A and B are shown apart, each in its own frame.
Chain A
Amino acid sequence: MSSSEVASDLSPLNRLWKAFASVKLTIVLLLTLAATSIIGTLIPQNETPVAYVQAFGEFWYRLFALLGVFDMYSSWWFRSLILLLTANIVVCSIDRLQFTWKIIFARHPKFNIARFRRFKRKEEFKAERAPDRLKNIYPSIVARRFGYHRVEDTDEGFAVYGESGRWTRLGVYIVHFSVVLLLIGGLIGSIFGFDGFVNIPEGETVRTIQLRNNPKNLQLDFEIRCDDFNVTFYDTGAPKEFRSSLTILKQGKPVYQKDIIVNDPLQYEGIRFFQSSYGNLPPNEVMLNFTSKATGMIYNQKAAVDKQIVIPENLGTFALKQFTRAADFRGQNIGEAFIGVLTPPNGSPVDVTLPLRFPRFDRMRKGDVVIAIADYLPRYYTGLQVSRDPGVWVVYTGFILMIIGIYITFFMSHKQVCVEVTADGKKSRIKVSGTANKNKLGMENKVSNLSEKLAETESSAKGEAKN
């Protein structure tokens, strides 16, 4: 169906086609998408129901939930809008392409001299030579500036047609096709891809990934181990680099190793691991020192959770029991600490708090032995974002095509010129006119340039005649 066809007695299917080929629909859809997209930026997405009820109250929560506002970009109505836009682009492009295709791939481009004669803006000049002499010179000049040229005889002389950039009419279709590619790529990604995360403590190996927006876990075909994690800081205290050394294992054997930092992920079997966050873990091992009140002697001992330590001078036994992120001291948070149990030789066991940050804290207990954490190796876990997106190459192709397509549509055009030469006695009269589907101002310049160039051959011809 070309849009030029008469709009009477259309079948319902044709009418539907026409509706989707309309740019009015495009404008309505684009503005509707723009307006509705705002909602999801005003209402934070994908929070917990509790948070929403607190923020909006029960009634509005129900209503919003019904409309899918809390996850609006994947709600049925938003997806329908995008689907409509896609249908609109596809139908509209096909509808117009039939027409454009004929123009672009015409074997012999049609030139209609009457059309060029009608243009108001023309460059005109007179030449001393007769048309048949100019016929040897002009075509090559036109050919140099426009890719295609053709000479046709007219009643009183001849005309040279030139044209370039016919194919640039395809630019818009490239743009529209690229939009469709983006949507297809996104669809492929959401069907065949996944998005998840995993935390791996240093030295440990995992194969289960927690999926995002999905309660299920994912089992990988391989295992991934974090050998080491490091964070470095600037002098200001801002983080400078997060680095995880990762090893991929298959059936327990290392097959691939890579250090990843933010912006430089590891990829294995199409699955990518991105450095995303990190956190502290309780140290596996700490160096404790025990200071005897009686003798003032200090004894160093390595300790791990649940390992019994016998304190010299018969001061009893000690064992670390657990680690806490926020130990409490008289209602104050004193940060990360180990809680241990000291069992004196004669007496009941007492709990001892050993904050990592305050090594002298245990003095306040005023016991026979003061216990302190002298040293420990910090231990981290690395937080990895894990994703697989087989659609990403379709999307990237779309990106490239879109940029190329927009450039072609905006800044290149289909240009046509006509140089008409008519006999004027023994001399000639020349009229140059041209047209372009875009940037008409630029085309006017091009026409006057061409005309100047043609006129210049006069003076050089005169020079030759004199010699």
Chain B
Amino acid sequence: MSASAVIFYVLASIAVLSAAMVIWSRYPVHSALYLVTTFLSVAGIYVLFEAEFVAAVQVLVYAGGIMVLFLFVILLVNLKDTLGPRVRLHATFSSLIGTAVVGLILYVYSQGRVPGSPGAAPMLREGGNLQAIGTSLYREYLLPFEIASVLLLVAMIGTIILARQKT
């Protein structure tokens, strides 16, 4: 096995194990910390595939930004209040959706329709990660990109309105 394969399997197993611990740990704060570990090891895998830009953004946005807000909520909210019959209903729905998504991924994978990653690496190396992503984002995928940003804006406005109603 080559060195990069060893590193990959180590990172991947850390990612999968801590993802499992997110579900299994009894304390929400532990779950949050395990989720950060998962994010970080996935970022490591991105670096291994020479996608340093994605790795840096993964750490900056997911591990750094979103998880901190998550942790905030966990630290401040008394989670025992929210447990109840509604949670059970949520759990049923979530498990159904989760199983469906896993099934879909396995189906696509078994059909051999997953595009191979080796083709992408030389393109990334040429002008650096940043340029490759910038060009494809602002040339080929401009419309989806703008739609996604409008979606985020809507979510932000919604949060502000929800927060204002409470006070």
The answer to whether A and B come from one shared complex is: no
Spell out B's residues near A (CB within 8 Å): none
